[in-house]
Structure 1
Amino acid sequence: MTVLRHSRKPVQMWTRLTVLTLIIVSGTLLSVSNTQKAYADYSVTVNPAQQYQTIQGWGSSMAWWANWAGGLSDSQRIPLADKLFDPNAGIGLNVLRYNFGADGPGNVCHNSIASGKAGIYTNLPTYEPTNGSYDWTQDANQRWVLQAAQARGANIFEGFVNSPPAWMTTNSCTSGSNGNTENLSSSHYDDYASYLATIAQHFHDTWGLTLQTVEPFNEPTPGYWNYNGDQEGTNVSTGTQNTIVNKLGAKLDQTGVSAYSQVSAPDDTSVDRSNTDYNSYDSNAKAYVVQYNTHTYGGSNSDRDYAYNTIGQSGNKRLWMSEWGTGAQSSPIAAGITLSQSILNDEQHLHPSAWVIWQAADNYFSSGGSGNGGSNNDLWDWSAPIAMAIWSIPLAIMRWATIASLSVLAIR
């Protein structure tokens, strides 16, 4: 039996530290208590001939939490990066989705976004604040986290967008437009494709950060994204998605960026919507999409089966579960259990190559419980990383029984 121990030394920002001990024995999670319990023996048959997917890894979208965490002092952000990304000192998340922000001069919705969600930072600066003028000093906080993750072994990166920069929109608002109307101006479709390709190229050539895919959409069809909303977003019809995918794919080819960064899509809110979006694309757009992204906030298991069998297997596309979050739960452990159930459901039916939580760490605690929403700004919720560790550890050390001591860090 291998024993993994993590440092219990408190960091200055964490004034209360508790330790949750997770015992993983032959794939079974046992609780630690003074009372011994007997568990029935069972057997699992592994058939190596039945292969569903190649696992690229486990990870998180960045955006809000990374913008906050990257702005902490070194004494705070370095231990946090260790716990999230270091495979020895932490849980070794290796997949990150970097958010290309949209905020800049002329964003008339800056204040509504900034004040909309207490305790988190939903305005992300754009690298192209005005047409044709790039500012690579922007977004230093989020970029620090990505570079820190890479230094600790993270190796699968994607760029994604919630909204185009304000100057590309029809109403100068990066939170969207009312009535499920589109906000990316048709006169800027080519600019948008160039913007995404330019960022991917700069990341690769200047910072040594290779984005294997660029995702131009985020939940494009449900109609969530309204004027004066509280977070960045934009509505995109399936027809416009098809146009953008074709333009982005062509631009990546034209600039040579497709040698290392390719297109992922459609990243819709549920598997059924993502299936509908993807199926609406023409053959040229489908050829540009090397990776099918979907969120799994909705959709049936038959929708997951369809995505795997028809899009993944028959269509020869890599599949990612690119976003999911627990929402408010009654406690951290309840959030972790809900997360684990979601992972199991996706792994049994969708068989994604990567499973990506929405936010790896929350600096807030919901009045309704733990999860990825809240207002009190007083607690680090580590239930998601812990639950993901339960899944990732057995994949790495399937032949050993393991005791893992993981820290639950709380700000009070």
Structure 2
Amino acid sequence: MKVSVKFLFGLLLVFGLDSKSFAQEKDQPVIFKIDIKNKAQVIENFGAAGCWFSEGIGKYWPEQKKEQIAEWLFSKSFDEKGNPKGIGLSAWRFNIGGGTAEQGDSSGIKDFRKRVESFQNPDGSYDWNKQAGYIWFVKKAKSYGVENLIAFSNTPPVQFTQNGRGFKTEKDYKSNLKSDKYGAYAGFLADVIKHFDAENLHFNYISPVNEPQWDWSNKPGQASQEGTPWRNEEIYKVTTALDSALTAQKLSSKIMLVEAGMLNYLYAGSGNTNRQIQNFFGKNSKLEVRNLKHMSDFIGGHSYFTENGDSSLVQIRKNVSDTARNYDVKFWQTEYSMLADGFREGTKEKRSAIDCALFLAKVIHNDLVVGNASAWQLWNSYEPGSPDFDTRYFLIALKPNEKHTDGEYFQTKGLWAFGNFSRFIRPGMQRLIIDRSDKMTDLKAAQIVMLSAYTDEKGKVVVVAINYTTLEKRVKLNLANAGKFSNLRKYITSASEGDNLKPYPVQKLKDEVILPARSVVTMVVE
């Protein structure tokens, strides 16, 4: 049937669209002006945690299987067709265990895989053969050239806790650490760092508290993992003790705080674990840690529970950025997975792998662009689950046997969507301020096209675009002060089976770029 353009415009008017907007949508790609002199924050790393399942995989799984998992996470190489072999993580998070594995079922943690050994025995001696599976992955990260190793603790060793367990049994929102064991706990962490320094496994950062806002209490036998709350005053006490212990051991690792359970706790609230930017980096605060010798120059928070709707997603991150800027401290997003149901975006159905991957990319984009995050780290690298639906907690889906001594493993679309950021945006690159011709706000862009750009000291430009729509989109890059760059190469992650950071032919920089429907596209300007 032949239909006139006039008739089509008439239909558009009926549905509330005028002919001008239709013509712009049809004929004009959105132009993104990128000036490489207009710089924002330095990007320090993209990382992931190797928790719980590292022990079984690293210790028992067949060599070929665990080597492939490590390659997917850490490799920066390409195959003969130009496909990335891995996502090139630049940070790896290692959990220093609290000794619940040695307690067995009496630990009170119901899943044996989430009990973790401790390097320190109850008599104070050390056994460095502990956590062998975890350390296998740390060594692999090092061998692949991962730039940042991060050690974090969920609980002090059980011999230092008030109830002799790796979690709380009393719901009082106070630390489980005995009041006279702050020095012992700090000394333990420093001993671990010193040992691995001698093994040529240097941890750039040590995080002594994790998600201090949660009560972490449970009945014995029902606890899901190690954990303890910490009040701000207790965090200050353990931080100063750790600074002294690191100094005494002549170590160079930096202390990483505070791994807030939600981003809101960094700037808002009135309780004992709130307003942590103001409390720990305010010049007139009695809890200020800025000037400690080993204190890092950032504050870390977790993006959990802060992405239920695009309005919250954007506004909370703006609040974090504004507060961090006012207190002259950088912000790192140090843990995120789709723990809450925000990723369902109003549906009750299972979400496909590409839907989850796109939501993950959207959170990363907003943490970087609106939240001004200097680093972004994911929970978790691998967990049991399906690679096809609700891939909310992991990059690699596991199907382990009952004892977790072997199993199957599957890459997910989330792995490669994360790789659109982690593989090409390397430590030291700077985010660039972008001007878009459609003048779309961050809030509106969250359902359409999101785009961010980064440059290194040599002027190389990397652009990551997220097409959140079910339609193909067209964009053009307008680079200012970028020298003589004339070409770009696309790497695409989409629902298509082969699109796992798949390279596409080089094209001219001046030509428009096609963003496939429901895709994440990295453009490397050459």
TM-score (norm 2): 0.63
Counterpart pick for 2:181 among 188, 205, 208: 188
How much has 1:283 moved relative to structure 2?
Answer: 5.2
User: Are 1:285 and 2:284 counterparts?
Assistant: no
1:208 deviates by: 0.9
Please give the secondary structure, in 2, of the residue aligned with 1:294. strand
Alignment size in residue pairs: 363
Provide the aligned C-alpha RMSD in A: 2.9
Partner SS, residue 96 of structure 1: strand
1:239 is paired with a residue whose SS is: helix
- Relative to structure 1, is the Cα distance of residues 383 and 367 closer, same or farther in structure 2, using a 3 angstrom cutoff? closer
Aligned 8 A contact 1:65 1:359 in 2? no
Q: Aligned partners of 1:330 and 1:110: how far apart in 2?
A: 37
Partner of 1:101: 97
**Structure 2: distance between partners of 1:193 and 1:106:** 21
Change (3 A) 1:177 1:49: farther
Q: 1:262 aligns with which of 244, 254, 271?
A: 254
The 1-side partners of 2:129 and 2:249 are apart by: 23
Quote how far apart the aligned CAs of 1:363 are.
3.0
Looking at structure 2, the residues matched to 338 and 69 of structure 1 have their Cα atoms a distance apart, in angstroms, of 28
Kindly indicate whether residue 241 of structure 2 is the aligned counterpart of residue 247 of structure 1: yes
For structure 1, the residue ranges without an aligned partner over 5 or more in a row are 1-37
Map of 2:49 onto structure 1? 61
**Aligned pair partner of 2:214 in 209, 219, 222:** 222
Shift of 1:151: 0.7
Secondary structure class of the residue paired with 1:243: helix
Match of 1:201 among 194, 198, 204: 194
For 1:220 and 1:339, how far apart are their aligned partners in 2? 24
Contact in 1 for aligned 2:167/2:176 (Cα 8 Å): no
In the alignment, does 2:131 pair up with 1:139?
yes
| CA distance in structure 2 between the partners assigned to 1:223 and 1:357 by the alignment | 22
SS of 2:318's equivalent?
A: helix
Deviation at 1:375, TM superposition (A): 10
The whole-number CA distance in structure 2 between the counterparts of 1:233 and 1:39 is 55
Report the structure, 1 or 2, having the larger strand content: 2
- Secondary structure of the residue aligned to 1:286 is coil
Q: Is residue 2:140 matched to residue 1:158?
A: no
Of 271, 290, 301, the match for 1:294: 301
Distance (whole Å) between structure 1 residues aligned to residue 213 and residue 169 of structure 2 = 13
SS at match of 1:346: helix
Contact 1:193–1:248, Cα closer than 8 Å, also in 2? yes
Match among 392, 399, 409 for residue 422 of structure 2: 392
| C-alpha distance in 2 between matches for 1:137 and 1:379 | 26
* 8 A Cα contact 1:365 1:381, kept in partner: no
Q: Is the 8 A contact 1:53 1:352 kept in 2?
A: yes
Say whether the 8 Å CA contact 1:175–1:227 is kept in structure 2: no
* Residue 79 of structure 2 is aligned to residue 75 of structure 1: no
One-letter code aligned to 2:488: W
Secondary structure of the structure 1 residue equivalent to 2:300:
strand
Which of 93, 101, 114 is residue 122 of structure 1 equivalent to? 114
Indicate how the Cα distance of structure 1 residues 39 and 319 shifts in structure 2: closer, same or farther if over 3 A, else same.
farther
C-alpha contact 1:107 1:166 (8 A) present in aligned 2: no
Partner residue of 1:370?
Answer: 391
Q: Which residue of 2 aligns with 1:6?
A: none
Between the aligned residues of both structures, percent identity stands at 20
Corresponding position: 1:304 with 2:317: yes
| CA positional deviation for 1:349 | 2.0
State the AA in 2 paired with 1:103.
G
Match of 1:212 in 2: 204
CA distance in 2, matches of 1:244, 1:210: 22
Q: Shift of residue 212 of structure 1?
A: 1.3
- Match of 2:170, SS state, is coil
- SS of the counterpart of 2:156? coil
Return closer, same or farther for 1:284/1:109 CA change in 2, 3 Å cut-off: farther
Structure 2 residue runs without a partner (length 5+): 1-25, 78-84, 268-274, 281-285, 307-311, 342-349, 401-407, 427-460, 463-486, 493-497, 502-526
| Contact 1:65-1:362 within 8 A present in 2 as well | yes
**Higher mean displacement: 170-179 or 281-290:** 281-290
Matches within 5 A, 1:1-20: none
Q: Secondary structure at the residue paired with 1:53? A: strand
Counterpart CA distance in 2 for 1:394 and 1:104 is 38
Check whether the contact 1:110–1:123 (CA below 8 A) recurs between aligned residues.
Answer: no
Verify the 8 A CA contact 2:353 2:388 in the aligned structure 1: no
Question: Whole-Å Cα distance in 2 between the matches of residues 400 and 187 of structure 1?
Answer: 60
**Partners of 1:70 and 1:108 in 2: how far apart?**
20
Indicate if the aligned counterparts of 2:167 and 2:217 stay in contact, CA closer than 8 A: yes
Per the alignment, do residues 77 and 376 of structure 1 end up closer, same or farther by CA in structure 2, a change over 3 Å counting?
closer
Change (3 A) 1:78 1:368: closer
Moved more, 135-144 or 243-252: 243-252
Relative to total residues, which structure has the larger helix share, 1 or 2? 1
Q: 2:75 pairs with 86, 89, 93, which one?
A: 86
Following superposition, the deviation at residue 305 of structure 1 comes to 3.2
| Structure 1 residue 77: Cα displacement | 0.7
Pair 272,139 (structure 1): closer, same or farther in 2 beyond 3 Å:
same
Maintained 8 Å contact 1:107/1:174: no
1:340 aligns with 2:361: yes
8 A Cα contact 1:107 1:172, kept in partner: no
Greater C-alpha radius of gyration: 2
How big is each residue's C-alpha offset from its partner over 1:210-267, in whole Å with a ceiling of 9 and x where there is no partner?
A: 111111111111223434311111111111111111111122122211xx20111110
The 1-side partners of 2:105 and 2:147 are apart by 35
1:53 Cα deviation from its structure 2 partner: 1.4
- 1:362 counterpart SS class: strand
1:50 paired with 2:50, answer: no
